[in-house]
Homo-oligomer: A and B are copies of this chain.
Amino acid sequence: MTLTVLLADDHAMLRSGMRAIFDTQPDLECVAEVADGRAAVAEVARLRPDVAVLDIRMPKLDGLAATEMILADPANRTKVLLLTTYDTDEYVYRALNAGASGFLLKSLPPEELISALRVAARGDALIDPSVTQRLIARFAVSLAPPPTPPELDLLTVREREVLQLVAAAYSNAEIAAQLHVGDETVKTHVSRVLAKLGLRDRVHAVAYAHINGLVQTRPPGVR
Contact = CB atoms under 8 A, between A and B. Distances in A.
A93 B221 contact: yes
Determine chain A's interface SS by DSSP, over half rule.
Answer: helix
Interface residues of A, number: 43
B99 A142 contact: no
Given A127-B127, A171-B203, 17 more contacts: A93-B221, A96-B136, A96-B140, A96-B143, A97-B140, A97-B144, A124-B132, A126-B127, A126-B129, A141-B222, A142-B223, A169-B203, A169-B204, A203-B203, A207-B210, A207-B215, A223-B223
Given A97-B144, A203-B206, A211-B217, A133 B139 contact: no
A24 interface: no
A130 interface: yes
A207 B167 contact: yes
Contacts of A167: 207
A135 interface: yes
29 contacts: A96-B136, A96-B143, A101-B133, A119-B129, A123-B133, A124-B130, A124-B133, A125-B132, A126-B127, A126-B132, A127-B127, A127-B132, A127-B136, A135-B139, A138-B222, A139-B139, A141-B222, A142-B223, A167-B207, A169-B200, A169-B204, A169-B207, A202-B203, A206-B206, A206-B207, A207-B210, A210-B215, A210-B217, A223-B223
A128 to B, nearest CB: 8
Nearest to A119: B129
Contacts of A169: 200, 203-204, 206-207
A45 interface: no
Interface in A98-147: 99, 101, 119, 123-127, 129-130, 132-133, 135-136, 138-144
B222 A142 contact: yes
A28 interface: no
Contacts of A136: 96, 125, 127
